Structure 1
Amino acid sequence: MEYSIENEFLRIAVRQAGAELCRIQSKVTGTDFMWNADPDIWPSYAPVLFPVIGAIKNGFVRYNGKDYAVPRHGIVRNNPEVKLIEQTESSLTFGLKSSTETLEIYPFEFDFEITYRLDAHKFLQSYKVANSGEEQMLFSLGGHPAFKCPVHEGEDYTDYYLEFEAIENDSTWLLTKDGLVGNETKKIFDNTNTLHLDHHLFDNDALIFKHLVSKQVSLRSTKSAQVATVRFGDFPYLGIWAKPNGNFVCIEPWLGIADSADSDQNFETKEGILKLAAGELFTASFSIEIHE
């Protein structure tokens, strides 16, 4: 089931399963900006990442002496137990609560909510994580929206580029064949704020950035005027990814990161892990803005 909201500029739709954003459409031109989730290439639109991001070493984390097989990207993605909590003219809120089933693979009690809220040419994707248990909770959190690229007929993938708000000199952390973050880096930026897209850019999987100056990045074309801008001030990590044969690019704000290749698999020592006291609430958000 899908739910949609719209204003005079944008229409967005969200799948109930996994609370997954599945459409960003201009009301002015009818242009679609999201990847179509082609099952032969990559059958997703914008997975919600909680309580882990990316791969887990050997498929499990260890907490208090017990192993938990948390799935890649966590337990919200594609989960049919996610429910619509509230719909207004300008917002959709979905939620997932811990259960007997989640406690078998993730050892904390929680109340997770995600809200999509329209505001003129942009929408805010906001997260709330409440620790409903009696002990400190450990988690990560992130987005994974896939933007259509190219957007218009007559354009090529290589006509597109990412424009960052600041001059960058960061490197990507190379991933192992198991999707773990290795110890080697590769220079991506050399005193520039642009990253030109090419399918070979992702031959070795995602680009993983830990030390960007920018908190804003825009997807632009050299042949058309539309701009999609992601602002991610609450998120210290950023992933950029596509399938090498996929006409899309994912811009992924993360609070947390995949396991490192040399991880000891203890949840408490996982890089980027967030800690939330019993009864406390954590919030974070990023926005996507469309201009044509």
Structure 2
Amino acid sequence: MLTIIENELIKVKIASQGAEMTSLELKEDNQEYLWKADPRYWGRHAPVLFPIVGKVKNDQYKVDGEVFKLTQHGFARDNEFELVEQEEQRVVYRLTSSEELLNKYPYQFELEIEYKLVANRVEVTYNVKNKDQKTIYFSIGAHPAFNWPLEEGETKEDYYLDFEENEKLRASLLDEGLLSDTTIEFLANNNSKPLAEELFRNDALILKDLKSKSVSLKSKSSDREVKVEFAGFPYMGIWSPPAGAPFICIEPWYGVADDKNSDGNFKTKEGIEVLQPEAEFSCTYSISIK
């Protein structure tokens, strides 16, 4: 089921399947900013990643010696969420643990996702509640895909990423979906990264320890812009499929894929979040368009 929220500037559509945003439109000229999920390239728009980000080694992990199987990015994106609150410019969706999910993830939880419009910005809040009697462990992240280029007649090479701060960053590379030991220079004490397909020939680029709290997708040949604000998120993925796909993902994460040497212990996994019984975890990122 699709739900629409809108204000005088933007209109957003969200699917109950995965609580996934499927459209982000500037009403002034009906410009669509979110990728249309063409399955020839990638059949998703902006999935929610939970309770893992990326892959776990061999698609399995261990909790107290017991082995559980979980595919890339977890199960939230493929499950039906309940629409629990709805206003003209705000909605809240909820996913709760079930017998089926306990076979994949041995923790009782409640995940709520709020979409709220503020002017030309959509704010997305993830709230995880520990409904178990024991400590729970999880990762969570966003995976929004934006049209690249945004305007007809532009090329991908017209675009660049504009970070809030000057950054000295190396990007970690993936090897068959797992973190490798290989890094490449991403920014050398500057804030602007030119974009080209060649950048993604080895899959996603993984960034951490950013000083910036926002990054913008900008064009040298138009005023179109997508700004992603991610204060507090310790990791970021930048991804576009290598086969000429006309979109780019800017992904704030609390968590990251396993590395090739992972022992599979979920509780000590890099980037894992720890939540005590009855406690809550909350984080917010936002997307502004113009």
Instruction: Compute the TM-score of the two structures, normalised by the length of structure 1.
Output: 0.97
What aligned pairs does 1:265-280 form with structure 2 within 5 A after superposition?
265-280=264-279
Letter in 2 for 1:155: E
Counterpart in 2 of 1:191? 189
Length, aligned pairs only: 289
Alpha-carbon deviation of 1:190?
Answer: 1.2
Unaligned runs of 5+ in 1: none
Q: Residue 268 of structure 1: SS of its match in structure 2?
A: helix
Alignment of 1:46-61 (within 5 A): 46-61=46-61
**What CA distance in whole angstroms lies between the structure 1 residues aligned with 2:150 and 2:229?**
20
- State the partner residue of 2:75: 75
**Which structure 2 residues correspond to residues 78-93 of structure 1 after superposition, within 5 A?**
78-79=78-79, 81-93=80-92
Q: Percent identity?
A: 43
Give the partner amino acid of 1:172: A
Whole-angstrom distance in 2 between the partners of 1:222 and 1:163: 11
**What does 1:142-221 correspond to in 2, within 5 Å?**
142-176=141-175, 178-221=176-219
- Indicate the residue corresponding to 1:222 in structure 2: 220
Counterpart Cα distance in 2 of 1:60 and 1:82: 24
Deviates more, 1:39-48 or 1:188-197: 188-197
Q: Which amino acid aligns with 1:249?
A: I
> Which amino acid in 2 is paired with 1:38?
D
CA distance in 2, matches of 1:55, 1:15: 24
Show the counterpart of 1:239.
237
Say what the alpha-carbon RMSD is for the aligned residues: 0.8
Aligned equivalents of 2:251 and 2:173: distance in 1?
Answer: 16
Q: TM-score, normalised by structure 2?
A: 0.98
Aligned-partner residue type, residue 230 of structure 2: F
Look up the SS of the partner of 1:4 in the other structure.
strand
Q: Give the Cα separation in 2 of the matches to 1:140 and 1:75.
A: 12
Displacement of 1:212: 1.6
Q: Which residue of 1 is the match for residue 127 of structure 2?
A: 128
Greater fraction strand: 2
CA offset at residue 71 of structure 1?
Answer: 2.0
Q: CA separation in 2, counterparts of 1:8 and 1:226?
A: 18
Are 1:66 and 2:86 counterparts? no
Distance 1:29 1:174 in 2: 38
For structure 2, which runs of at least 5 residues remain unmatched after alignment? Answer: none
1:37 paired to 2:37: yes
Q: Secondary structure at the match of 1:17?
A: coil
